[in-house]
């Protein structure tokens, strides 16, 4: 029997490889502009026809190619970027597999003109379906002019799978944005069907972001900067105002290369956790610099997924960087009523040793209690009615003591906290949601968000009673428009809003200018707050001005209260506890939800019977 194994002809092998590298016109755009970047171009022009289905043309002023390289560049595994296997570990260029041009030439009609600075004449080469049709000397400017026509002309099955022009063009835009953001010093033009879509002049990162995403974004960018031995981070994060329902502008770059990294993405999102509603996601433009020996870029054919050596430690660095950035501009609320503790997150500086994050002990873990255990139903959670009696007789038992009824007037005499006779009240946070503390009759459980809502509400109402105005200047004034009906209602709220710390003025008809917001404001979005106020007002829920104040305090408290999932420092729990019990209504939120409950010691005891 004769041998049956045969090598595939190059043209077929190239077509198969092309399937990996070139999925759509956007892949062609990506490969070509990355080559231009690698060629040291300072200017790149991209011309597209019919979302790239008819034409993708990339013209650069880079180093160009010699006559021989011009021909060689279309061979598979032909690359000028890797000489030895060691080079693989020190990749700083975009390309290195030497597959792109071979793949593109396998599935399209390609024409390239290229000339090096030192050469008199350049070369022109035409390749169709991997076959060189012609190569000749030609007079042309320095750089490379690459035309890709009729992509998948010889692979109808793949051509059929191309999406509508709008989708394919969106993909092209995405690829261009990534390269453009990573290389703000390179001028770029994008022309689609004879219209300029981008005309980007060279500049810095911030200017490039503004050129790509519009002037408006500028005031919503917070710059971040971290320098550790393991990783450098620079770039910008978006304030909550520019968060989007479906993925904002989200970009990670490593050593000037775009990357996707779901784990690091999570580190960013987590840092926004108490600032953005769960269905919104933040915008960010983060540029990482790391030693090439600590990353592995070769795990994915299109090279957007990258593996790092110490991902857990980097996760922490990213998380802290973002938190710091958000804190810097006061976007983050502090629930600290008396002093400013800032963020007690360890900040890793250059040359410090970085340990992986510690494992948190789950205080909730009970190895003996199964879900639906009969015991759990026996535990009844009673509303606290006489909380002031909770601590009676506990003074010397190393547990909190609460003063009794006659002492309740907030912060009377020179005691300004609610414990007495106890040095260290005990608090434990459960599941980022509850504060636990032992009391005389058992275990007190406080809902952290509801407690904070109550505290803020009381605080807002009392500020509204004062004559003083607590205005705060903001760096980024914002104007809000209303329809005439709504504006009549809003106008009346302005004095109260000012007392709380909003610096607002009426500008022209039906508009206000917000020049400042209170320091502890979380959402930063007065418009949303006022919109929800107007919603209640439409339902006729209040008539008197007193009602209006209460309603305003309520929407503000709801918007600014800490969320579930916020990990609390010991001081923060103390402050919530003190603040809650300094008020007159610690048991229920202004809208009537239970804040505090106690699992009685009897209930605890039955669990062990
Ligand atoms: P890779 O970029 O992975 O090396 P490509 O197939 O994309 O592989 O390109 C092959 C080679 O052709 C490159 O290594 C480079 O030497 C040359 N080349 C491609 N595009 C350009 C360009 N725009 N300017 C100069 N040289 C280029
Ligand atoms: Mg390449």
In this structure, what CATH number is given to the domain that contains residue 228? Answer: 3.30.230.10
Copy the structure tokens of residue 552: 């305003």
3-class DSSP state of 170: helix
Residue 592 near residue 558, CB atoms below 8 Å: no
- Cβ neighbors of 456 (< 8 A, separation 6 or more) are 520, 553, 556, 557, 560, 561
Residues 18 and 55 reside in one and the same domain: yes
Residues of the chain with pLDDT under 70: 1, 8, 16-19, 82-97, 247, 274, 297-303, 328-423, 471-472, 475, 520-524, 538-546
Residues 199 and 210 reside in one and the same domain: no
3-class DSSP state of 453: helix
Q: Which atom of ligand 1 is nearest to the CA of 96?
A: 3
Q: What angle do CA 518, 343, 431 make, to 5 degrees?
A: 100
In Å, what is the CA distance from 5 to each residue of 1, 2, 10, 13, 76? 12, 9, 15, 15, 21
Residue 252 near residue 288, CB atoms below 8 Å: yes
CA of 63 to the centre of ligand 2 (A): 14
> Of the candidates 179, 203, 227, which is a domain's last residue?
203
Give pLDDT, residue 330: 47
Give pLDDT, residue 354: 42
CA of 43 to the centre of ligand 2 (A): 17
Asked, for residue 452, whether it belongs to a domain, the answer is: yes
Give pLDDT, residue 24: 93
Residue 16 backbone phi and psi in degrees, to 5: -65, -45
Count of the separate structural domains present in the chain? 3
DSSP 245-268: SS--SEEEEETTEEEB-HHHHHHH
Give pLDDT, residue 114: 98
Ligand nearest to the CA of 143: 1
Give pLDDT, residue 520: 64
> Of the candidates 283, 307, 328, which is a domain's last residue?
328
Domain of 540, CATH number, reads 3.30.1370.100
Nearest CA to ligand 1 atom 17: 73
CA 214 to chain centre: 19
For residue 515, what is the enclosing H or E element? strand 511-516
Residue 152 backbone phi and psi in degrees, to 5: 65, 25
Ligand nearest to the CA of 73: 1
Around 157, how many Cα atoms within 13 Å sit in the side-chain half-sphere?
2
- For ligand 1, whether the C-beta of 65 sits within 6 Å is yes
In Å, what is the CA distance from 440 to each residue of 137, 271, 390, 547, 583? 94, 37, 6, 38, 21
Give pLDDT, residue 83: 66
- Buried b / exposed e over 423-435, threshold 16 CB at 10 Å, is eebebebeeeebb
CA of 80 to the centre of ligand 2 (A): 10
Give pLDDT, residue 418: 33
CA of 29 to the centre of ligand 2 (A): 11
Give pLDDT, residue 357: 37
Asked, for residue 530, whether it belongs to a domain, the answer is: yes
Nearest CA to ligand 1 atom 16: 80
Residues 112 and 221 reside in one and the same domain: no
Asked, for residue 256, whether it belongs to a domain, the answer is: yes
Asked, for residue 358, whether it belongs to a domain, the answer is: no
Nearest CA to ligand 1 atom 25: 64
Distance, in Å, from the CA atom of 457 to the CA atom of 479, rounded to the nearest integer, reads 26
Ligand nearest to the CA of 146: 1
Q: Which atom of ligand 1 is nearest to the CA of 99?
A: 6
Residues 16 and 116 reside in one and the same domain: yes
CA of 209 to the centre of ligand 1 (A): 27
Distance, in Å, from the CA atom of 526 to the CA atom of 504, rounded to the nearest integer, reads 11
Distance, in Å, from the CA atom of 98 to the CA atom of 105, rounded to the nearest integer, reads 13
Q: Which atom of ligand 1 is nearest to the CA of 58?
A: 23
Residues 499 and 540 reside in one and the same domain: yes
Residue 557 near residue 550, CB atoms below 8 Å: no
Domain of residue 239, residue span: 206-328
Residue 444 near residue 595, CB atoms below 8 Å: no
Instruction: Give the residue among 60, 100, 61 at the shortest CA–CA distance from 80.
Output: 100
Give pLDDT, residue 568: 93
CA of 527 to the centre of ligand 1 (A): 51
Residues 516 and 398 reside in one and the same domain: yes
Residue 607 backbone phi and psi in degrees, to 5: -60, -25
Asked, for residue 172, whether it belongs to a domain, the answer is: yes
Q: Which atom of ligand 1 is nearest to the CA of 93?
A: 2
- For ligand 1, whether the C-beta of 452 sits within 6 Å is no
Q: CA gyration radius for the chain?
A: 32
CA 307 to chain centre: 20
Distance, in Å, from the CA atom of 553 to the CA atom of 462, rounded to the nearest integer, reads 10
Residues 190 and 311 reside in one and the same domain: no
Residues 71 and 150 reside in one and the same domain: yes
- For ligand 1, whether the C-beta of 57 sits within 6 Å is no
Give pLDDT, residue 95: 60
Distance, in Å, from the CA atom of 178 to the CA atom of 190, rounded to the nearest integer, reads 13
Residues 178 and 239 reside in one and the same domain: no
Q: Which atom of ligand 1 is nearest to the CA of 34?
A: 2
Find the helix packing angle between 545-560 and 484-500, rounded to 10°.
70
Tens-place pLDDT, residues 58-72: 999 999 999 999 999
Around 97, how many Cα atoms within 13 Å sit in the side-chain half-sphere?
18
Asked, for residue 185, whether it belongs to a domain, the answer is: yes
CA of 206 to the centre of ligand 2 (A): 27
Q: Which atom of ligand 1 is nearest to the CA of 98?
A: 8
Tens-place pLDDT, residues 477-491: 888 999 988 898 889
CA of 38 to the centre of ligand 1 (A): 8
3-class DSSP state of 417: coil
Q: Which of 46, 73, 297 to mutate to test the pocket of ligand 1 (most atoms within 8 A of CB)?
A: 73
- For 38, other C-beta atoms within 10 Å of its C-beta total 19
For 258-266, the CB contacts below 8 A with 24+ separation are: 258/178, 258/179, 258/181, 258/182, 258/304, 259/304, 259/305, 259/306, 260/304, 260/305, 261/305, 261/306, 263/311, 263/315, 264/311, 264/314, 264/315, 264/318, 266/315
CA of 469 to the centre of ligand 2 (A): 62
Place of tokens 């200018």: 513
- For ligand 1, whether the C-beta of 603 sits within 6 Å is no
Residue 32 backbone phi and psi in degrees, to 5: -70, -45
Residues 116 and 185 reside in one and the same domain: yes
Nearest CA to ligand 1 atom 21: 35
Q: Which of 29, 34, 38, 146 to mutate to test the pocket of ligand 1 (most atoms within 8 A of CB)?
A: 38
CA of 39 to the centre of ligand 1 (A): 8
> Of the candidates 146, 173, 203, which is a domain's last residue?
203
Q: Which of 95, 144, 148, 297 to mutate to test the pocket of ligand 1 (most atoms within 8 A of CB)?
A: 95
CA of 126 to the centre of ligand 2 (A): 18
Distance, in Å, from the CA atom of 122 to the CA atom of 113, rounded to the nearest integer, reads 7
- For ligand 1, whether the C-beta of 145 sits within 6 Å is no
């Amino acid at each position: 029997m004769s041998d049956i194994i045969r090598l595939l002809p190059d043209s077929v092998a190239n077509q198969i490889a092309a399937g990996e590298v070139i999925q759509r016109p956007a892949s062609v755009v990506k490969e070509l502009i990355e080559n231009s970047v690698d060629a040291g171009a300072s200017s790149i022009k991209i011309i597209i026809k019919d979302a790239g289905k008819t034409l993708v043309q990339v013209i650069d002023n880079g180093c160009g190619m010699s006559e021989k390289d011009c021909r060689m560049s279309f061979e598979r595994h032909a690359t000028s970027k890797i000489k030895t296997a060691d080079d693989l570990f020190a990749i700083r260029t975009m390309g290195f597999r030497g597959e792109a041009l071979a793949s593109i030439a396998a599935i399209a009609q390609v024409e390239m003109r290229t000339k090096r600075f030192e050469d008199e004449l350049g070369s022109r080469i035409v390749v169709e379906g991997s076959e060189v049709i012609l190569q000749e000397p030609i007079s042309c400017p320095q750089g490379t002019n690459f035309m890709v026509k009729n992509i998948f002309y010889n692979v109808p099955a793949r051509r059929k799978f191309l999406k509508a022009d709008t989708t394919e063009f969106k993909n092209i835009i995405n690829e261009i944005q990534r390269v453009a953001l990573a290389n703000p010093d390179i001028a770029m033009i994008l022309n689609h069907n004879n219209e300029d879509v981008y005309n980007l002049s060279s500049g810095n990162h911030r200017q490039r972001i503004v050129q790509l995403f519009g002037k408006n974004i500028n005031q919503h960018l917070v710059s971040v900067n971290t320098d550790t031995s393991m990783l450098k981070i620079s770039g910008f994060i978006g304030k909550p105002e520019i968060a989007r329902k479906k993925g904002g502008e989200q970009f990670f770059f490593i050593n000037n290369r775009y990357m996707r990294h779901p784990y690091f993405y999570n580190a960013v999102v987590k840092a926004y956790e108490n600032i953005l509603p769960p269905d919104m996601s933040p915008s960010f433009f983060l540029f990482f610099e790391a030693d090439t020996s600590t990353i592995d870029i070769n795990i994915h054919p299109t090279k957007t997924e990258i593996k790092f050596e110490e991902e857990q430690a980097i996760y922490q660095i990213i998380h802290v960087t973002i938190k710091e950035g958000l804190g810097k501009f006061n976007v983050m609320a502090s629930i600290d009523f008396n002093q400013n503790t800032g963020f007690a997150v360890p900040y890793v500086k250059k040359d410090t040793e970085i340990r992986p994050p510690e494992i948190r002990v789950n205080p909730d873990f009970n190895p003996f209690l199964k879900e639906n255990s009969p015991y759990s139903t026996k535990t009844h959670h009673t509303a606290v009615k006489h909380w002031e009696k909770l601590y009676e007789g506990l003074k010397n038992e190393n547990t909190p003591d609460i003063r009794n009824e006659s002492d309740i007037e907030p912060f009377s005499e020179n005691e300004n906290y609610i414990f007495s006779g106890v040095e260290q009240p005990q608090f434990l946070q459960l599941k980022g949601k509850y504060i636990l503390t032992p009391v005389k009759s058992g275990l007190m459980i406080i809902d952290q968000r509801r407690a904070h809502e109550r505290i803020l509400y009381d605080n807002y109402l009392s500020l509204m009673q004062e004559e003083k105005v607590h205005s705060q200047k903001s760096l980024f004034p914002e104007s809000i428009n209303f329809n005439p009906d709504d504006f009549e209602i809003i106008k009346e709220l302005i004095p109260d809003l000012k007392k709380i710390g909003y610096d607002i003025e009426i500008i022209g008809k039906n508009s206000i200018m917000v020049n400042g917001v209170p320091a502890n404001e979380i959402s930063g979005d007065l418009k949303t707050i006022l919109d929800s106020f107007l919603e209640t007002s439409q339902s006729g829920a209040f008539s008197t001005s007193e009602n209006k104040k209460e309603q305003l305090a309520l929407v503000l408290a709801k918007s600014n209260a800490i969320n579930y999932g916020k990990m609390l420092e010991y001081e923060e729990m103390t402050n919530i506890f003190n603040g809650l019990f300094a008020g007159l209504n610690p048991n229920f939120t202004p809208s009537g939800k239970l804040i505090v409950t106690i699992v009685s010691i009897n209930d605890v005891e039955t669990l062990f019977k």
